[in-house]
A = this chain, B = another copy of it.
Amino acid sequence: MARLLHYPLDPFSRRIRLQLSEYGAEVELMEERPWEQRAGFLKLNPSGMLPVYIDDDKTVAAGVEAVSEYIEEAHAGFNGSLLGASAGERAETRRLAAWFDAKFHHEVGGPVLMEKVIRRFLANGAGGGTPKMNRVRAGLGRIRQHLDYIGALSEQRNWLAGDRLTLADLAAAAHLSCLDYLGDVPWSSNEAAKSWYQRIKSRPSFRPLLADHVRGITPPRTYADLDF
């Protein structure tokens, strides 16, 4: 069986788990803590980023762009594609996926996850210790504009990139869901974004993410609640 090196609160890993599940593809999940810089992991992806996908035939795809496109090439077909059908739709899907992977993660998710999750696992000399709450606040201060963007797109269209669910929705939901685990998404600030998230959270592909548990960090009750 194919294997996925992932971390439960890594948004890039979550996006790939959702994508595989939407295609009904089975995968063995192997938890990796990228900050531990395990030699076997760095050999598979020298950049030290998750996820890494190892196919049945040992083909390796490393990093979210490579894994995501690899899975599309393997699975998209008569069941449709999570990239979209036309060239324009596919460009829009990729533009929005990059928005969340780069801009959202850089401005919001990366700093918050670093401070509230990763820092607690680091040794004192390697950046471990108390979260820098000013960095958390600065990140969360920018989350509303992203929710507003999601809200606006999902009102113009059925899903973020167009009429149907695409990797853009999976990317956005993957990033937001990590912060939702921390109770840090102000859903009441945008009803349309909340309604979009309710739809995607109700999908069978989302269930395994709602059952994730990171030791020492208990999610709020609303995290797994479809009526949050």
Contact = CB atoms under 8 A, between A and B. Distances in A.
Contact of A63 (B59, B62, B95): B95
A30 interface: no
Q: Determine which residue in A61, A70, A90, A91 has the highest number of CB atoms from chain B within 10 A of its CB, and name it.
A: A91
- Number of copies of this chain in the oligomer? 2
Interface in A116-139: none
A226 to B, nearest CB: 30
A149 B94 CA distance: 28
A99 B66 CA distance: 11
A38 to B, nearest CB: 18
Nearest to A88: B59
Nearest to A60: B91
A66 B47 contact: no
Contact of A66 (B49, B63, B70, B98): B98
A90 B69 contact: yes
Given A63-B98, A74-B87, 4 more contacts: A47-B95, A59-B88, A65-B95, A70-B90
11 contacts: A45-B95, A46-B149, A47-B95, A47-B98, A47-B103, A63-B99, A65-B65, A65-B95, A65-B98, A66-B95, A69-B69
